[in-house]
């Protein structure tokens, strides 16, 4: 039996499980693992500037491609606690990432050793498993189990904590004899699907709500086939955006309090049956449940049995992987089609598209400073269907989801439930690492951008190009808008007069200089006519210099973005709506007044 250190065995297992790159920060307690990483070869490494940044890079890497599992590595103590936000973000959005931390020697774990912390206990609530390995011989089994857990059922993150003496201990391990554990995913049966389709057949105005579980299952093509067979319009959730192209005749638009379309909410409110697949009925999608559920029959399919009934009780709940369920849905629908018994949904689908052509928000404004809507209009012109958008939270993300277009799975990469500021830059670096030849475009407000701005240096060092659209109003815009309910505007202003850049007025931080100081490229835009040329130039600069390129758009200080406080039938449209086709020139459907 070959002998090697436990750290080397861990690295060999990573390779056997398909890991090709890791993101991390070395340190004393994890250096044996790094030594094994270097000696073994075969796994690239991206050096982050902050360990939280490494965890978000791992998230972005996982989210970009089916089958990817991002790995982040850090030393002990604060490195582990820095990763907690990434773990929380990953478990909330069902994203498998593996965090590996160093630890003090086993004999010193409870003696307040330098940078020794019980990271397994801290990480437990935000992981599928968090383990401090006390015996070196257990390392292979713990790593084997980690990949099994990350891939099985509802995907999610795992943390493995390795004391330094455990890493250094030699063990018997033969990589040639290693075998991955079989992945477990619940699968629907024929009877369940037939009952679900029977409920759909009895309805008059059905909808499919497709969540991130469809993307996790790599089942977007099955989803589209089922929708096309039955003629049922599809509402993607924010995490499921891209399962059906935005320009598809059965795309009914997004629904919700914030990241929604006017026509999407109206079509949902007109429906009488909802088939939810791989979604979790998030509160910003549903709003108040009385309005959301009234007069509708619900079928819910989810890979996690405890999700069924968690928010409200469906009329039929099915515990199943989305892909396994959709295979049966397609099978049953084909049989009904061949028998000529599928209901004709043409009129209902056409009504959804009629709303789409009529109920639109205005994007074309010529104001200076810029209105944010114009930024997204020009982004639609500059960035095509191949673009992968990356964003986290804020008015920038909400308006982007309302106005941008997404055509493919994994092309809207959004931190959905956790929404930590600072997520966007490192996540975009992870996405661009996973898709080095793709068009990656990040979207941030100024506060999100400033939270982890140091990670831009990672893109410069490792030559990771992407375009970052920074919409700057020098405000905590979403919090300011929420404070309207309290009649305050308190501690949300970011403006100041920069003594080194008086030309900025009150916009404060000179992002162009900071970005350039970190080794990247930046363009500032102050007028609408400059947006499209800036985006085109950014694409060229990213390709030429192979670094992140930031396009900063100087916005008007205050814009209230469309949203509701409680119910999806009461969305407040603060801005002038589109009434003529030229008001929304990049809309998917030309506006019909």
Of these residues, 274, 395, 421, 456, which one is catalytic? 421
Of these residues, 51, 87, 164, 168, which one is catalytic? 51
- Among 253, 254, 202, 208, CA closest to 231: 208
Query: What is the widest separation between alpha-carbon atoms in the chain?
Result: 76
Six-digit token pair at 340?
A: 């000529």
Count other Cβ atoms within 10 Å, centred on residue 347: 10
Per the CB < 8 A criterion, the answer to whether 65 and 435 are in contact is yes
Crossing angle of helices 51-64 and 84-92, rounded to 10°: 20
Per the CB < 8 A criterion, the answer to whether 108 and 58 are in contact is no
Q: How far apart are CA 22 and CA 498, in angstroms?
A: 38
**Coil/strand/helix, residue 245:** coil
479 carries an active-site annotation: yes
Cα–Cα–Cα angle for 558, 563, 565, nearest 5°? 110
Of these residues, 11, 13, 14, 25, which one is catalytic? 25
CA atoms within 13 A on the CB side of 577: 15
Of these residues, 181, 199, 291, 479, which one is catalytic? 479
316 carries an active-site annotation: no
Q: How far is Cα of residue 469 from the mean position of the Cα atoms in its chain?
A: 17
Radius of gyration of the chain (CA): 25
CA atoms within 13 A on the CB side of 294: 11
Residue with tokens 């599992």: 69
- Give how far Cα 303 sits from Cα of 208, 258, 276, 308, 579, Å: 17, 26, 12, 9, 43
Residue with tokens 């990483």: 37
Of these residues, 476, 518, 549, 550, which one is catalytic? 476
Per the CB < 8 A criterion, the answer to whether 395 and 258 are in contact is no
- Give how far Cα 276 sits from Cα of 71, 128, 214, 281, 316, Å: 31, 24, 10, 8, 10
Q: How far apart are CA 282 and CA 343, in angstroms?
A: 30
Per the CB < 8 A criterion, the answer to whether 259 and 402 are in contact is yes
Positions annotated as catalytic residues are 25, 51, 421, 476, 479
């Amino acid at each position: 039996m070959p002998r090697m250190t436990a750290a080397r065995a861990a690295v060999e297992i990573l390779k056997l499980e398909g890991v090709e790159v890791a993101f991390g920060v070395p340190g004393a307690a994890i250096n044996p693992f790094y030594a094994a990483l270097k000696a073994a070869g075969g796994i690239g490494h991206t050096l982050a500037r902050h360990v939280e940044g490494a965890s978000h890079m791992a998230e972005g890497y996982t989210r970009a491609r089916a089958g990817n599992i991002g790995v982040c590595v850090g030393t002990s103590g604060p490195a582990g606690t820095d990763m907690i936000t990434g773990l929380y973000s990953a478990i909330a959005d069902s994203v498998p990432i593996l965090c590996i931390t160093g630890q003090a020697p086993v004999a010193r774990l409870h003696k307040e050793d330098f940078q020794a912390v019980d990271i397994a206990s801290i990480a437990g609530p935000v992981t599928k498993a968090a383990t401090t390995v006390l015996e070196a011989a257990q390392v292979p089994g713990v790593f084997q189990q980690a990949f099994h857990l990350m891939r099985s059922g509802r995907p999610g993150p795992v943390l493995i904590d390795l004391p330094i003496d455990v890493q250094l201990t030699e063990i018997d391990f033969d990589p040639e004899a290693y075998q991955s554990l079989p992945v477990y995913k619940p699968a629907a049966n024929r009877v369940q699907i037939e009952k679900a389709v029977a409920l759909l057949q009895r309805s008059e105005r059905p909808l499919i709500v497709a969540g991130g579980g469809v993307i996790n299952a790599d089942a977007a093509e099955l989803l589209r086939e089922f929708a096309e067979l039955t003629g049922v319009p599809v509402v993607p959730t924010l995490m499921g955006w891209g399962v059906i192209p935005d320009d598809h005749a059965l795309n009914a638009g997004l629904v919700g309090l914030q990241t929604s379309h006017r026509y999407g909410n109206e079509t949902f409110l007109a429906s009488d049956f909802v088939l939810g697949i791989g979604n979790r009925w998030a509160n910003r999608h549903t709003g108040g449940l009385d309005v959301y559920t009234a007069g509708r029959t619900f079928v819910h399919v989810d890979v996690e049995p405890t999700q069924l009934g968690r928010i409200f009780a469906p009329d039929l709940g099915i515990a199943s992987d989305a892909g396994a369920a959709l295979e049966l849905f397609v099978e049953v629908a084909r049989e009904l089609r061949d028998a000529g018994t599928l209901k004709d949904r043409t009129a209902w689908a056409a009504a959804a598209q009629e709303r789409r052509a009529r109920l639109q928000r205005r994007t074309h404004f010529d104001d200076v400073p810029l209105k944010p809507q114009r930024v997204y209009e020009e982004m639609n012109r500059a960035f095509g269907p191949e673009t992968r958008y990356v964003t986290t939270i804020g008015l920038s993300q909400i308006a982007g989801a309302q106005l941008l277009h997404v055509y493919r799975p994994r092309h809207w990469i959004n931190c959905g439930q956790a929404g930590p500021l600072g997520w966007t830059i490192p996540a975009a670096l992870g996405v661009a690492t996973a898709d080095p030849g793709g068009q990656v475009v990040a979207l941030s407000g100024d506060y999100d951008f400033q939270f982890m701005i140091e990670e831009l240096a990672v893109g410069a060092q490792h030559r990771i190009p992407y375009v970052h659209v920074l919409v700057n109003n020098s405000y905590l815009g979403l919090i300011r808008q929420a404070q309207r309910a309290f009649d305050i505007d308190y501690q949300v202003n970011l403006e100041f007069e920069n003594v080194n850049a008086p030309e900025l007025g009150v916009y404060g931080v000179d992002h162009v200089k900071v970005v350039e100081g970190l080794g990247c490229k930046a363009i500032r835009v102050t007028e609408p006519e400059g947006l499209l040329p800036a985006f085109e130039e950014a694409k060229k600069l990213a390709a030429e210099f192979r670094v992140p390129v930031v396009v900063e758009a100087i916005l008007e200080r205050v814009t209230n973005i469309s949203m509701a406080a409680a119910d999806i039938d009461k969305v407040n449209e603060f801005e002038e709506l589109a009434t003529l086709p030229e008001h929304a020139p990049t809309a998917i459907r030309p506006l019909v007044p």
